[in-house]
Amino acid sequence: MEEQVTGRAEESENGSGDVVAEATHRDLPDRETCTAVLSKMMLIRRFEERAGEMYAKAKIGGFLHLCIGEEATVVGATQALRDGDFLLSTYREHGQAIGRGTHPNAVMAELFGKVDGCSKGRGGSMHLFDWERRFLGGYGIVGGNLPLAAGVGLACDYGGTDDAVLCMFGDGASNQGTFGETMNLAALWKLPVVFMVINNQFGMGTSLERHSAVTDLSRKADGFGVPGARCDGMDVLDVHAHTCEALQKAREDRHPQLLEAVTYRFRGHSMADPEEYRSKEQVEEWRRRDPIVGFGKRLAEEKVISKKQQKELDEAAIATVDEAVRFADASPLPDLDSLYDDLYVYGDQLQGWWTVDERSPETHRGEDERSQGDVARGLREAGAAYAATERQKTRGQREGQSGGDGEGEPAGDVRDEEGGGQ
């Protein structure tokens, strides 16, 4: 995607008082690029919808955070990265993994906790990881990825490469102590890092104006020497153009950048969110700016990709997600003997019991799990069978529940029309 027109997005407000960004109009790239971008946004939308369905059926455990509505921010930013660049994200990172190139099969299998998942079934929804594509994971700790991104940037600097780092975090994370500490060191050490704050208007259920004294988050690192810019997170071309510019400054000038993408999530913070903090009217107002519908409409109007062709792209996305679910269902669970694998990197410097297993009559080191006898294995299998029974009970309870009592859109298994808003 080539940047055609430059300009800083200006701050304004919608009818609900939420800060939005007005993007500079940008020329469309070539048809091949437009097709790739639209297809990827549709794939992420359909993947997230199906993930929500699978969670409701108890196929997915733990927490689940969907990025429906934020596809333009995800795709526009990841399209700007080079193959050698690094990406770090938050726990709302299914789209980032797919955008970076991780196969949907591996992502869905990870959500299912299966061995063929991109983190071998150990990370789940919040801890996807793909070293081959330099996607260094989602992080469950709010703001926890910020200092890690600085460390990766320092490694790039030490290595003498021209690789850069893109670190995505939420608006709520800009209030964490790690934010100021990281901005200071990144500026002081001139690290090649772009910090993208995905401002979806809420830190969990707390609106931006209630949790941050400064609502123009692009200015929040000024005092640390990190300049900022703001883009329209609902416009994939605007996000891409600003991210390209920020990465260029970080990479070539060795000057870290802060980029705020103003966007909105159409679903709750997580699948357990009743959304009592926002109204249906507010959600519908933002839905009128649906990034997939808006981009698709423009492509049709400018005769780049017709509505019929867009429908075919959406059907292909649905088929890909259907296959991902079949793949995840067929993938085996991790072997019980692997429970303590990859918890630590063991060396010869310090000896000790790094993990302890007390499930068998004789307490033993967890790292020796594979060498235990038949008694220990039998107890492990009995415990796993009991857990499976409890999981079935949970599945029945979830399938009998409705999507929530709040004012916002239910977090249930509702599909959006044509990969976009209803």
Convert the pLDDT of each residue in 166-205 to its tens digit: 999 999 999 999 999 999 999 999 999 999 999 999 999 9
Q: How many domains does the chain have?
A: 1
**Statement: residue 237 has pLDDT above 90:** yes
Rounded to an integer, the average pLDDT of 402-415 is 43
Q: Percent of the chain, pLDDT > 70?
A: 87
370 within a domain of the structure (yes/no): no
352 within a domain of the structure (yes/no): no
**Statement: residue 322 has pLDDT above 70:** yes
300 within a domain of the structure (yes/no): yes
248 within a domain of the structure (yes/no): yes
pLDDT tens digit sequence for 385-397? 777 777 677 666 6
355 within a domain of the structure (yes/no): no
Pick the more confident residue, 410 or 264.
264
401 within a domain of the structure (yes/no): no
Provide the mean pLDDT of the chain. Answer: 88
Q: Are 340 and 357 in contact (CB under 8 A)?
A: yes
CATH number of the domain encompassing residue 286: 3.40.50.970
297 within a domain of the structure (yes/no): yes
pLDDT tens digit sequence for 147-172? 999 999 999 999 999 999 999 999 99
| Residue 184 domain boundaries | 10-331+415-419
Q: Are 228 and 268 in contact (CB under 8 A)?
A: no
229 within a domain of the structure (yes/no): yes
- pLDDT given at position 18: 54
Residue 301, token pair as written in the block? 């109007």
Question: Which residues fall within 8 angstroms of residue 325, CB to CB, at 6 or more apart?
Answer: 50, 54, 108
**Statement: residue 44 has pLDDT above 70:** yes
